Amino acid sequence: MPRTLREAILYWNAFPEALYGWTSSEALGANVLDLIPASDVREAAVEIHAKLLIGESWSGEFLAKKRDVSVFPIQVTDSPIFGEAANSLDCPELQCVIQ
Protein backbone atom coordinates (compact mmCIF):
# COMPACT_ATOMS: atom_id res chain seq x y z
CA MET A 1 0.00 0.00 0.00
CA PRO A 2 1.38 3.44 -0.83
CA ARG A 3 2.61 5.37 2.15
CA THR A 4 4.92 8.22 3.00
CA LEU A 5 8.43 7.94 4.42
CA ARG A 6 6.82 8.44 7.83
CA GLU A 7 4.52 5.46 7.13
CA ALA A 8 1.31 7.52 6.73
CA ILE A 9 -1.11 5.54 4.55
CA LEU A 10 -1.79 7.35 1.27
CA TYR A 11 -4.26 5.01 -0.43
CA TRP A 12 -6.92 2.66 0.93
CA ASN A 13 -9.76 1.10 -1.04
CA ALA A 14 -12.47 -1.54 -0.59
CA PHE A 15 -10.01 -4.46 -0.57
CA PRO A 16 -7.99 -3.44 2.51
CA GLU A 17 -11.23 -2.29 4.16
CA ALA A 18 -12.57 -5.84 3.80
CA LEU A 19 -9.24 -7.49 4.69
CA TYR A 20 -8.26 -5.40 7.73
CA GLY A 21 -11.59 -3.91 8.82
CA TRP A 22 -10.51 -0.27 8.87
CA THR A 23 -12.53 2.21 6.78
CA SER A 24 -10.81 4.60 4.38
CA SER A 25 -11.54 7.53 6.68
CA GLU A 26 -9.86 5.68 9.57
CA ALA A 27 -6.86 4.42 7.59
CA LEU A 28 -5.90 7.34 5.32
CA GLY A 29 -3.13 9.33 6.97
CA ALA A 30 -2.79 6.82 9.81
CA ASN A 31 0.59 5.27 10.52
CA VAL A 32 0.68 1.80 8.95
CA LEU A 33 2.84 0.59 11.87
CA ASP A 34 -0.08 1.34 14.22
CA LEU A 35 -2.73 -0.40 12.11
CA ILE A 36 -1.30 -3.47 10.40
CA PRO A 37 1.53 -5.33 12.20
CA ALA A 38 0.51 -7.75 14.95
CA SER A 39 1.95 -6.63 18.28
CA ASP A 40 4.50 -9.49 18.36
CA VAL A 41 6.07 -8.32 15.08
CA ARG A 42 5.93 -4.54 15.52
CA GLU A 43 9.70 -4.33 16.13
CA ALA A 44 10.33 -6.31 12.95
CA ALA A 45 8.05 -3.87 11.09
CA VAL A 46 10.12 -0.96 12.39
CA GLU A 47 13.30 -2.71 11.16
CA ILE A 48 11.74 -3.28 7.72
CA HIS A 49 10.80 0.41 7.57
CA ALA A 50 14.42 1.33 8.38
CA LYS A 51 15.55 -0.79 5.40
CA LEU A 52 13.15 1.07 3.11
CA LEU A 53 14.57 4.39 4.28
CA ILE A 54 18.04 3.37 3.09
CA GLY A 55 16.72 2.12 -0.25
CA GLU A 56 16.46 -1.62 0.44
CA SER A 57 13.47 -3.79 -0.43
CA TRP A 58 12.01 -6.51 1.77
CA SER A 59 9.78 -9.49 1.02
CA GLY A 60 8.42 -12.22 3.26
CA GLU A 61 5.58 -13.49 5.41
CA PHE A 62 4.37 -11.17 8.11
CA LEU A 63 1.73 -11.36 10.85
CA ALA A 64 -0.94 -8.70 10.41
CA LYS A 65 -3.84 -7.74 12.62
CA LYS A 66 -7.38 -6.82 11.76
CA ARG A 67 -9.34 -4.04 13.41
CA ASP A 68 -10.88 -6.70 15.68
CA VAL A 69 -7.26 -7.60 16.67
CA SER A 70 -7.41 -11.09 15.17
CA VAL A 71 -4.05 -12.02 13.63
CA PHE A 72 -3.38 -13.60 10.23
CA PRO A 73 -0.33 -14.12 7.97
CA ILE A 74 0.20 -11.96 4.88
CA GLN A 75 2.82 -12.02 2.15
CA VAL A 76 4.51 -8.62 1.91
CA THR A 77 6.81 -7.06 -0.65
CA ASP A 78 7.99 -3.58 0.34
CA SER A 79 10.02 -1.55 -2.13
CA PRO A 80 10.86 2.14 -2.08
CA ILE A 81 10.01 4.26 -5.12
CA PHE A 82 12.90 6.37 -6.39
CA GLY A 83 13.41 9.47 -8.50
CA GLU A 84 10.76 11.02 -10.70
CA ALA A 85 8.49 8.01 -10.24
CA ALA A 86 8.13 8.85 -6.57
CA ASN A 87 6.58 12.19 -7.49
CA SER A 88 4.43 11.10 -10.40
CA LEU A 89 2.45 8.03 -9.39
CA ASP A 90 -0.27 7.48 -11.99
CA CYS A 91 -3.21 7.07 -9.63
CA PRO A 92 -5.80 9.87 -9.50
CA GLU A 93 -7.15 8.76 -6.11
CA LEU A 94 -3.63 8.82 -4.66
CA GLN A 95 -2.88 12.27 -6.05
CA CYS A 96 -5.88 13.67 -4.19
CA VAL A 97 -4.51 12.35 -0.90
CA ILE A 98 -0.95 13.56 -1.55
CA GLN A 99 -2.10 17.12 -2.27
**pLDDT for 17-62, tens place per residue?**
999 999 999 999 999 999 999 999 999 999 998 998 888 999 999 9
* Contact (CB, 8 A) for 85 and 74: no
Distance between CA atoms of residues 24 and 44, nearest Å: 25
Distance between CA atoms of residues 43 and 41, nearest Å: 5
Query: pLDDT band at 87, cuts 50/70/90?
Result: low
pLDDT averaged over every residue in the chain:
84
pTM beyond 0.85: the answer is no
Query: pLDDT band at 99, cuts 50/70/90?
Result: very low
